[in-house]
Structure 1
Amino acid sequence: MSDNKLSGRRILVVEDEMLVSMLVTDLLEDFGCTVVGPVARLPAALEAAAGDGFDAALLDVNLAGVRVFPVADVLAERGIPFVFVSGYGELDSDGQHEGRPVVQKPFSPDALEVALANCFPD
């Protein structure tokens, strides 16, 4: 993808696996984004989601055995776009977040870039 929709965007990263968060950080920076976080646990993620300073978020569905859906609820209520990242296939969010973008682990850089760029319509 080369239209540079992501250049200058601030992306909150909620990811509990250190190596994955490092990879995501590198990719986002390659896309021209500024990374906010990463945040690895639900309480800190809820606090970050309620704050300012980011344009969209990447949410790992499972944070150390705890589902990230309360963070998604806060973001949805605030009208902030987000993309789920999951290694589990189905979200299992009681349908509340059905239709939200999901990037499956392991993901390609292109899949991540397209999913995030789609958060910012023209």
Structure 2
Amino acid sequence: MDQFGLTGRYVLVLEDDYFIASEVSQALQNSGANIIGPFGSEASAITAINRTPPDLAILDLNLGAGQTFAAARALRKEGIPFFFLTGYDQWAIPPEFRDIPLLEKPVGLTQVVRTVDMLLDNGAARLH
């Protein structure tokens, strides 16, 4: 996966499944990214976003206590691009976030890294 140029980029990972969080983080690190997290709770992720804003974030929708979109709202407020990595389909996304890319689990790690690279490269993911 070293064909992706993520060197020096900071990616926040919000995922409560230890194995998925580890695999995603390792794949991104192998591509040169610096990982913020991974975090298993939105509160921890939001604290990190406020302290050290990432270049991009990857968010799971359900962190064990049902769906919540506080981290997504915090990222949008700061103009930080993100995407959802979840077992849920598009129907679970509220209308305010339907423009955000969604990768459905299970997904290959190369696709995750490719999505990070694409969103960071094209700048179109910067949100208002």
Provide the TM-score with structure 1 as the length reference.
0.88
Question: How many Å apart are 1:46 and its aligned residue?
Answer: 2.1
CA distance in 2, matches of 1:35, 1:56: 10
Q: What residue is the counterpart of 1:11 in the other structure?
A: 11
For residues 73-112 of structure 1, the aligned pairs below 5 Å read 73-90=73-90, 92-112=92-112
CA distance in 1, matches of 2:54, 2:2: 22
CA distance in 1, matches of 2:91, 2:105: 13
- Partner of 2:75, secondary structure, is helix
Q: Comparing 12-21 with 2-11, which one deviates more in the overlay? A: 2-11
Letter in 1 for 2:67: R
CA distance in 2, matches of 1:6, 1:91: 31
Structure 2 unaligned segments of length 5 or more: list them: 124-128
Letter in 2 for 1:59: L
Decide whether the 8 Å contact of 1:59 with 1:68 is kept in 2. Answer: no
Q: Structure 1's 77 and 8: CA in aligned 2 closer, same or farther, altered over 3 A?
A: same
Question: How many Å apart are 1:65 and its aligned residue?
Answer: 2.4
Q: What residue is the counterpart of 1:58 in the other structure?
A: 58
Question: How many Å apart are 1:90 and its aligned residue?
Answer: 2.1
Decide whether the 8 Å contact of 2:4 with 2:113 is kept in 1. Answer: no
Q: What residue is the counterpart of 2:126 in the other structure?
A: none
Q: Structure 1's 97 and 115: CA in aligned 2 closer, same or farther, altered over 3 A?
A: same
TM-align CA RMSD: 1.8
Letter in 1 for 2:25: T
For residues 40-51 of structure 1, the aligned pairs below 5 Å read 40-51=40-51
Percent of residue pairs bearing the same amino acid type: 28
Structure 1 unaligned segments of length 5 or more: list them: none
Say how many residue pairs are matched.
122
Decide whether the 8 Å contact of 1:57 with 1:81 is kept in 2. Answer: yes
- Partner of 2:19, secondary structure, is helix
CA distance in 2, matches of 1:2, 1:36: 19
Q: Comparing 53-62 with 90-99, which one deviates more in the overlay? A: 90-99
Greater share of helix residues, 1 or 2? 2
- Partner of 2:76, secondary structure, is helix
